Structure 1
Amino acid sequence: MGLLYGCSALLLLVILAPRAYEAGNILVFPTEGSHWVNMDILLQALHSQGHNITIVRSSKSWYVEDNSSCYHIYTVQVERSLDQKFLSNLVFQAIEFERGALPWRRFLHMAVGMIDIWLMRADFVFEYPRPTMPNVVYIGGFQCKPPKPLPQPFDDFVQSSGEHGVIIMSLGTFVSELPAEITKKIAAVFAELPQKVIWKHKGAKPDNLGNNTLVVDWMPQNDLLGHPKVKLFVAHGGTNGVQEAIYHGVPVVGLPLFFDQYDNLLRLKERGGAKLLTIQTVDKDNNFLEAIQEVLNEPSYTLSMQRLSRLHRDQPMEPLDNAVFWIEHVMRHKGANHLKAESYRLPWYVYHSVDVIVFVAGAVLLFLLTVFFSIRCLYTVMCKRKVKRD
C-alpha cells in the first residue's frame, strides 16, 4: 500500500512539474469599475494555469478586495486628499494632452515602444477593420461565456413570464439610479408591457412600479442574457454589456450616458441590432415604449443580433484562451520583439522619412541646377558665336 501511495505521488509530481516549472510571476496594477471585472476574469484564467498573481491596489479601491485566495494583494495606503489631488492632476494632464501639448510625449513614446503584446478588447464583428501590427491581439468578448443556471429567485421569475418572455435593464456599475421623474416614466412603460421585467436599480423604487417588474440591486447579467426567455436588453451601451448581448444574440434598446457608450450603441444600430435613444428624451412622446415595442415586434433586430452572435462565436480559439496563450507566449520567450514594429526604435527624422525627403529633394535640386547651368552655358556660347560672326 505504501508503495502504491509513493508511486501515485511520484506520478502526480511528474504531471504537475512541467506546469510548475512554466509558472510565472505576474504583477498587476488594476483599474476600477467594469475594467476590473474584466481583468479579474483574465487573472482567474492565468491563476488556473499555475501563475502567481500579485496585485497592487489602492486602499481606496472600490472593487479590488484587500484579500483573495487567488492573488497576492499589496495595498498602498492613500489618503483621500492625496487621491483627489492625483485625480485633479490627472484630469489637468489629460486636458493638456487633448490640446496637443503632449506633456508626457517622450515617456509615452518610450512606454509604447516597450510593450510586447497589445491585448485589444475588440472584435471585428463589432469594430471596423483597421491596420495593425502582428503584436496586436484581438480578444473582444473574452469575458462572455455560456450561461449558468439562474439563482432560484431569478429562475422562478423568468419561468413565470410565459410566452411573452423577459426584458432586462441595467445601466452598468457606475450608474445606480436615475432622476425620479425619469425613473417613474420608465416604470410606467414597463408596467404597460406583457413581458416580465428585471430592472437593476439601487435607488428608491417608484410608486408606479408594475407587478411585472422585479427591481434588484444585482443581477447575473451574462446568465440572464443567455436564457432563451430573455427577449430584450435595455442597456447603457458599456462595452461589457454590448459584447455579452452580441454573444447571446439579444437585441438592445440603448440609453447611452457617457464615455464610449453612444459610439458602442451607434455601431450596434448600424448593424441592425439596436434601437438608440437618449436619456434626455426617454420620457418624451412615448419614445421609450415605442422603441421597446419596435424591437420586440420587428424580427430583424433579433435576426441581426443572432447573425452577429454566430460570427463572433465562429473563431478557431476562444478569446480568453487566446489572451492567456499570448501572455504565456511573452513569458516563455522573454518578450516578443519578433512581432514588434521597428518604428519605435527609429529616430524621428527616419520615422518621418525626413532623410529620404532631403536626399530626393537634393537630388532633384542638383538635377535642375545642372540643367539650368547647362542651358545657360549653351546659351552663352551660342551668343558669343553670333557676336563673332557679326
Structure 2
Amino acid sequence: MSFHACACACLPELHIFMMAGRKTVALAWTLLCALVFGAGVGEVTAGKVLVFPEDGSHWVNMQVILRELHSRGHELTVVRSVRSWYIQETPELYASINVDPPQAESFTAEMFEALLQRSLQLRRMTWLRYFIEQQLDLAFTLRLFHTNALRMISTILDDGELTARLRAERFDLMLTDPAFPAGVLLANYLDLPLVYNVRWLNTGDGHMALAPSPTSFVPMYNSILPARMGLWQRARNLVRYASSMMQERYVLLPIYDELLERHFPPGAELLSMQRRADIWLMRMDFVFDFPRPTMPNIVYIGGFQCRPPRPLPDQLEAFMQSSGDHGVVMMSMGAMIATLPKDIAEAIAAALAELPQKVIWRYTGERPSTLGANTLLLDWFPQNDLLGHPKMRAFISHGGTNGVYEAIYHGVPVVGLPLLFDQFDNLLRLEVRGAGRIVDATTITTASFKEALQDVIGDPAYRDNMGTLSRLHRDRLVSPLDTATFWIEFVMRNKGAAHLRPESWDMPWYTYFGIDVLLLVLSLACLSVLVPVIAIRALWRAVVKKKNKGKVE
C-alpha cells in the first residue's frame, strides 16, 4: 500500500485522536509514520556475529555497538587475547574465544610514559629532524604492534581444531576494528562478510585505503596541517604521503608474507583483503573532520558513543553545585597516560589553583605540590555525564577522539594539551573551527596555561562555536548508533554489500592512476610527430635519389 493510501485510510482514526488533544495527535502521527516507513526496511532475524576487536580505547567504542547488537537479539562471539588490558570475559553480553599467543613485547604504562617523553623531545626539534626521527619511531612502533597482531592471528590459524570450530559456527559476518589486520585475515580465511568499525588503518586514516586522498587538501595523519594549505605545507604533506606509502610497503606488509604463504592461496595480498570489507563504519563526522572524497560503502558514525547525561553520584553532584555561578572545569588525559611529567603537572596544578572555577581532574600520579583547594583529583569519573552537566565551563583534554566527540556533542569548549598519536590533528581541527585552543606541552608555563583557560572560559565565541558544531552534529535523521546497527544488519540480510564496491579496488596501481592512459597518449603524440617526419624523410630521399639518377643518365 502506498504512503498516501495508508494516510487516507487512517484519517478517520486521526480525527478521533485530534479531539483528544495535540499530544495524542503527535503520538498517533509518529506511530503511523513508523509503521509506513518501517514497512520498507527489511527485518533481520537474530544473527551470529564474530567480533575481533582491538584493545584500549578502541574496545570502549566497540562495546557500545556490541551492547546495541545484543539488545536486538544478536548472538555475539568475541575473540580476545588472554593478556588483554580491557577486553574481559562478559558472558551476559557475548561468548569469548580466548587465545594465548606467544608472549611478546607489548605496550605497558611505563612504555607509554617513555613514548610521552620521546614525543616532547621530538617537538623541540627542527621540522626536518623531527620528521626523520618521527618516521624512524613510527617504523619501530609499527613493527611492534603488527608483530603482536601476527602472533595473535598465527596462533588462531595454526590451530586446526579452533578454525574448524569457527567454521562450524557458521557466523553471519565478522565485525572488526582493522587498525591491525588480525581480524581482517581471519574473516578472509573463513570467507565471512566483513564490517569495519574503523578510524585508522595501517599507516594512516582509513580513507586512504579505498578513497582518493589528494594531498593538496587532505592532511596526512600526524601532519598537524589544516585543509587549506600553502605551497610549503602541501609539499610537506606530499612528503608525508610518500613516507606513509613506503612504511606500508616496506615495513608493514612484509611482516605478514610468511603467514599468507602458509594459510592463503598463492597471490593472496593483505591490501586486497583489507579493501574487500562490505561496509566501513567510519568513526568520524565532517562536522569535526575536514571534508574529503569518500566511497558509497563508507558510513559515518562519528560520536556514536555519545549520549545524553545521566544523573551524577550524589558526591559529584554536590561538588558541581558547590561551584556557584563560576562553574566547573574538567581535565582528563585519557586512560593510557597515568601521570604527566612532574614539571608539566606542577605548572598545570598551579594554573588551576588560580581559577575561580572548581576543577575536577582525572589523575593517578603523585599529587602535585601546587594543587589548589578548588581541585578534586579522582582516579575515574563519568566523563560523558560531567560534560553534559550545566555547570561545565571547559574541558582540558589530550585530544583523544572519544573525548573530543563527547565535548562536541555537549557543546563544551576545549583547552587541548596534545601528547601522542592523532591527538595533535584532532585538536587542530577544533582550533581551526574556533571551538578550542591548543597549549604546547613543551613550552607550557603556569601563566600560559592560565591565560588559555581564561580565554576559552571568558570569551563566549568559543562556546558559541562549539555550540554550532554540537547542533550540526546532532541534526541528523538517524542517530550514529542506529545507523551503525542498520548497516550491520543490512550486511546480514543481504550476505554482503558487493554492489557498493568500486571497480578501482581491483585495478593495478598504474591503471588506477591512469599511467597506462598517459603512456598511450604520449605514444600517440610521438607517433603523430614521428610518422609524418619519417614519411617526409622517405619521400625526400626518394626524390633526391630519383634526381641523382636522372643526372647520372
TM-score interval, normalised by the smaller of the two chains: 0.7 to 0.9
From the superposition, tell whether residues 157 and 356 of structure 1 become closer, same or farther in structure 2 (CA, over 3 Å).
same
Superposed CA deviations along residues 283-322 of structure 1, whole A, max 9, x for unmatched, are: x251111111111111111111011111111112111111
The residue that corresponds to 2:34 in the other structure is none
The residue that corresponds to 1:305 in the other structure is 466
List alignment gaps of at least 5 residues for structure 1: 1-17
From the superposition, tell whether residues 299 and 150 of structure 1 become closer, same or farther in structure 2 (CA, over 3 Å).
same
The residue type paired with residue 371 of structure 1 is: P
Superposed CA deviations along residues 301-351 of structure 1, whole A, max 9, x for unmatched, are: 111101111111111211111111111111111111111111222345543
C-alpha contact (below 8 Å) 2:146/2:252 kept by paired residues:
no
C-alpha contact (below 8 Å) 1:165/1:230 kept by paired residues:
yes
Q: Residues of 2 paired with 1:292 and 1:151: CA distance?
A: 27
Q: 1:98 and 2:247 equivalent?
A: yes
CA RMSD of aligned residues (A): 2.8
The residue type paired with residue 144 of structure 2 is: L
From 398, 407, 420, the equivalent of 1:245 is 407
Alpha-carbon offset, residue 358 of structure 1: 4.5
The residue that corresponds to 1:166 in the other structure is 328
Q: 1:344 and 2:505 equivalent?
A: yes
Q: 1:236 and 2:398 equivalent?
A: yes
C-alpha contact (below 8 Å) 2:89/2:95 kept by paired residues:
no
C-alpha contact (below 8 Å) 2:416/2:427 kept by paired residues:
yes
The residue that corresponds to 1:74 in the other structure is 97
Q: 1:210 and 2:264 equivalent?
A: no
Bigger Cα displacement from structure 2, 334-343 vs 351-360: 351-360
Q: 1:288 and 2:342 equivalent?
A: no
The residue type paired with residue 301 of structure 1 is: Y
From the superposition, tell whether residues 280 and 320 of structure 1 become closer, same or farther in structure 2 (CA, over 3 Å).
same
Q: What SS does structure 2 have at the residue aligned with 1:246? A: helix
Alpha-carbon offset, residue 214 of structure 1: 1.3
List alignment gaps of at least 5 residues for structure 2: 1-40, 108-139, 148-201, 204-243, 255-267
Q: Residues of 1 paired with 2:528 and 2:366: CA distance?
A: 81
From the superposition, tell whether residues 294 and 287 of structure 1 become closer, same or farther in structure 2 (CA, over 3 Å).
same
From the superposition, tell whether residues 296 and 353 of structure 1 become closer, same or farther in structure 2 (CA, over 3 Å).
closer
Q: Residues of 2 paired with 1:237 and 1:38: CA distance?
A: 16
Q: What SS does structure 2 have at the residue aligned with 1:286? A: helix
Superposed CA deviations along residues 128-187 of structure 1, whole A, max 9, x for unmatched, are: 111111011111111111111111111111011111101100000101222333323322
TM-score relative to the length of structure 1: 0.87
Superposed CA deviations along residues 252-271 of structure 1, whole A, max 9, x for unmatched, are: 11111111111111111111
From 370, 374, 385, the equivalent of 1:223 is 385
C-alpha contact (below 8 Å) 2:278/2:297 kept by paired residues:
yes
C-alpha contact (below 8 Å) 1:33/1:63 kept by paired residues:
yes
The residue that corresponds to 2:178 in the other structure is none
Alpha-carbon offset, residue 207 of structure 1: 4.0
The residue that corresponds to 1:57 in the other structure is 80
Alpha-carbon offset, residue 368 of structure 1: 2.9
Q: Residues of 2 paired with 1:31 and 1:376: CA distance?
A: 69
The residue type paired with residue 98 of structure 1 is: Q
Q: Residues of 2 paired with 1:234 and 1:130: CA distance?
A: 28
Q: Residues of 1 paired with 2:326 and 2:401: CA distance?
A: 28
Q: 1:149 and 2:311 equivalent?
A: yes
Alpha-carbon offset, residue 80 of structure 1: 3.8
Q: Residues of 2 paired with 1:333 and 1:88: CA distance?
A: 36
Q: Residues of 2 paired with 1:214 and 1:52: CA distance?
A: 42
TM-score relative to the length of structure 2: 0.62
The residue that corresponds to 1:190 in the other structure is 352
Alpha-carbon offset, residue 103 of structure 1: 5.2
Size of the alignment, in residue pairs?
371
From 434, 440, 447, the equivalent of 1:272 is 434
Bigger Cα displacement from structure 2, 27-36 vs 163-172: 27-36
The residue that corresponds to 2:69 in the other structure is 46
Alpha-carbon offset, residue 121 of structure 1: 0.8
List 4+ stretches of structure 1 deviating above 4 A: 18-21, 81-84, 86-89, 91-97, 384-390
Q: Residues of 2 paired with 1:87 and 1:277: CA distance?
A: 26
From the superposition, tell whether residues 236 and 334 of structure 1 become closer, same or farther in structure 2 (CA, over 3 Å).
same
Bigger Cα displacement from structure 2, 70-79 vs 229-238: 70-79
Q: Residues of 2 paired with 1:222 and 1:199: CA distance?
A: 14
The residue type paired with residue 101 of structure 1 is: Y
The residue that corresponds to 1:30 in the other structure is 53
The residue type paired with residue 202 of structure 1 is: T
C-alpha contact (below 8 Å) 1:19/1:50 kept by paired residues:
no
Q: Residues of 2 paired with 1:263 and 1:375: CA distance?
A: 61
Q: Percent identity?
A: 51
Q: Residues of 2 paired with 1:71 and 1:266: CA distance?
A: 38
Q: Residues of 2 paired with 1:88 and 1:98: CA distance?
A: 9
Bigger Cα displacement from structure 2, 69-78 vs 157-166: 69-78
Superposed CA deviations along residues 47-106 of structure 1, whole A, max 9, x for unmatched, are: 11111111111111111112331111121124544768x989535878996275155276
The residue type paired with residue 302 of structure 1 is: R
Q: What SS does structure 2 have at the residue aligned with 1:101? A: helix
Bigger Cα displacement from structure 2, 88-97 vs 145-154: 88-97
From the superposition, tell whether residues 116 and 219 of structure 1 become closer, same or farther in structure 2 (CA, over 3 Å).
same
Q: Residues of 2 paired with 1:248 and 1:236: CA distance?
A: 17
Superposed CA deviations along residues 199-251 of structure 1, whole A, max 9, x for unmatched, are: 11112323443222111111111111111110000110111111111111101
Q: Residues of 2 paired with 1:141 and 1:89: CA distance?
A: 30
The residue type paired with residue 69 of structure 1 is: E
Q: 1:315 and 2:476 equivalent?
A: yes
